[in-house]
Amino acid sequence: MATTLSAEKAIEKYEADIRAERQRILSSEIAKDPRIREQGLYFLQSIQTTAFNMYVAPRPQFPALYVHQVFMPYELSWGLPSPNFLYRWSFLDGRHTYRIYGNAKGNFWTNLQVFHGFWGDEVMTTIGVIDFDNLPKKPNGDYEIFLGPSPPADPKSQTWVKLDPVDSITVQVRDATYNWADMHTADMRVEILDRDPDASLHIDEADFVRRLEKATRWMRRNVAFAGGFLRSALTGDPTRPMGPDETVDPALVRDLSRRNQFREVTSAAPPPGQSSAFAGSPLSSFAQMVYDLKPDEALIIEIPPIKARFWDLQLGDLWGQTTDYSHHRSSVNGHEARVDGDGLIRAVLTAADPGVTNWLDYAHVPMGMALLRRYHLEGRGAPKTKLVKRSEVRRHLPPDTALTSPEERRAEMAIRKEASLRRYGY
């Protein structure tokens, strides 16, 4: 009887926390805009789905690498996931040993990050990062990675990530695709090497309560992170989640001078071993911007030369939901971008195609967030912006700006749609 009451109380707390976060979203300054309010309502519903998939559903002794359960192209999104990454997630028990294996021949670039915990846990620390550029592979592209409390029998010839002996280990894989016309992702699987003989898929009530409490915490921290991400875009301060009763300063949100300009984020993810609520990779750095455009306006974005293993510029709403990139050209990466004669990359953010190759379509999100993501970046430098009338865009661009005809754009978008959705089996 006591466990039933415990479960009931956990469910009641979960429902109460949903109501609290709904109120937090709807009472925020940005939610005074009806469209942003509607985006917030969808955001809250979607992260409840993801909270279940990350904390209630996984069975660490029967591991899998999840894709649809955490991110989907336009249905599930939080934290501004990259259009150019296929994310895979696995949830492990650090007291056991696992093997991640597959074939990486032909894929552009992959990195794997291992966390002790995540947003639903009391502690969140990066305990390992593997760059597949440095991962030993056989000539045919086969690889294997061991994760566990003890090294494999022959540690000199194996890649091993030492796991903390806790029941909440999160593995996040970012598998990058750079060329929509020639897209290839790594083959990847996971297996447990020492499953308990009596391991069961059944979740008893005490375990359900524990999992639901973590799911509740994850959902609340996601809302808090969205606010911190917005504040960082407006100030350039380090990204950190807001406190339980904290909101983004309304005066900061109303300050129009803070919009339509990029800011370098002053700190990225900490190195392995340092506790942080930031889920980004230690290999990455970011510049952020809150944009706000009228239908007849365009924002010219001047990006300085980027020397990086990977970079992309993407759009999303103010809650951290990535703008649809399958049916709209809402992102550009280092392979797609055309460089002007002076070495700068100029992108044009506007509602309708201006015929410029580096067009960014805000796809019915006239006020949102832009994120410049870079991995293994040499140097730093935030893009500069210029707000102009959409009808006058060409006048503000160099004569050698690369142009794309309507026919070429239709062909480009057909390739992008097919490739981006094929990764998810659509």
**Per-residue pLDDT reduced to its tens digit, 161-198:** 999 999 999 999 999 999 999 989 999 999 999 999 99
Q: Is residue 266 very low, low, confident or very high in pLDDT (cuts 50, 70, 90)? A: low
Fold of 262-422: Jelly Rolls (2.60.120)
Q: Is residue 209 very low, low, confident or very high in pLDDT (cuts 50, 70, 90)? A: very high
pLDDT at 269 over 60: no
pLDDT at 372 over 90: yes
**H helices then E strands: how many in the chain?**
5, 17
pLDDT at 268 over 70: no
Q: Is residue 426 very low, low, confident or very high in pLDDT (cuts 50, 70, 90)? A: very high
Q: What is the mean pLDDT of residues 44-63?
A: 97
pLDDT at 226 over 80: yes
DSSP assignment of 178-237 equals: --GGG----EEEEEESS--TT--S---HHHHHHHHHHHHHHHHHHHHHHHHHHHHHHH-P
Mean pLDDT of the chain: 93
pLDDT > 70: what percent of the chain? 95
How far CA 386 is from CA of 94, 200, 259, in Å, comes to: 50, 59, 11
Q: CA-to-CA distance for 344 and 136, rounded, in angstroms? A: 36
Least confident of 56-65, 94-103, 267-276, 300-309: 267-276
Question: What pLDDT shows up at residue 267?
Answer: 56
Give the alpha-carbon dihedral of 257, 260, 264, 266, to 10 degrees.
Answer: 40
Q: Is residue 380 very low, low, confident or very high in pLDDT (cuts 50, 70, 90)? A: confident
Question: What pLDDT shows up at residue 2?
Answer: 46
Q: CA-to-CA distance for 280 and 232, rounded, in angstroms? A: 14
pLDDT at 1 over 50: no
- CA 279-280-284 angle, to 5 degrees, is 170
Domain residue ranges of the chain, discontinuous segments joined by +: 2-206, 262-422
- CA 245-250-253 angle, to 5 degrees, is 120
Query: What b/e readout covers 81-99, taking b as 16+ CB neighbours within 10 angstroms?
Result: bbbbbbebbbbbbbbbbbb
Question: What pLDDT shows up at residue 245?
Answer: 75
Query: What b/e readout covers 32-51, taking b as 16+ CB neighbours within 10 angstroms?
Result: eeeebeebbeebbebbbebb
Tokens 């074939």 -> residue: 103
Instruction: Decide whether 2-206 matches 262-422 in CATH topology.
Output: yes
Q: What is the pTM of this model?
A: 0.94
Q: What is the mean pLDDT of residues 57-68?
A: 97
273 secondary structure, DSSP code: T
Q: CA-to-CA distance for 401 and 393, rounded, in angstroms? A: 11
Q: What is the mean pLDDT of residues 19-36?
A: 95
More reliable by pLDDT, 381 or 32: 32
Question: What pLDDT shows up at residue 273?
Answer: 55
What tokens appear for 377 in the block? 């970046």
Q: Residues 241, 231: contact at Cβ < 8 Å?
A: no
Least confident of 11-15, 149-153, 362-366, 384-388: 149-153
Least confident of 9-13, 46-50, 154-158, 279-283: 154-158
Q: Is residue 238 very low, low, confident or very high in pLDDT (cuts 50, 70, 90)? A: confident
14 secondary structure, DSSP code: H
Q: What is the mean pLDDT of residues 143-154?
A: 91
CATH for the 2-206 domain, from 3.40.50.1000, 2.60.120.1600, 3.40.50.2300, 3.40.1550.10: 2.60.120.1600
Q: Is residue 137 very low, low, confident or very high in pLDDT (cuts 50, 70, 90)? A: very high
Q: What is the mean pLDDT of residues 5-23?
A: 92
Question: Who's near 362: CB < 8 A, 6+ residues apart?
Answer: 291, 293, 315, 323, 330, 349, 350, 351, 368
Q: Is residue 250 very low, low, confident or very high in pLDDT (cuts 50, 70, 90)? A: very high
Question: What pLDDT shows up at residue 202?
Answer: 97
* 56 CB burial (10 A radius; 0-12, 13-18, 19+): middle
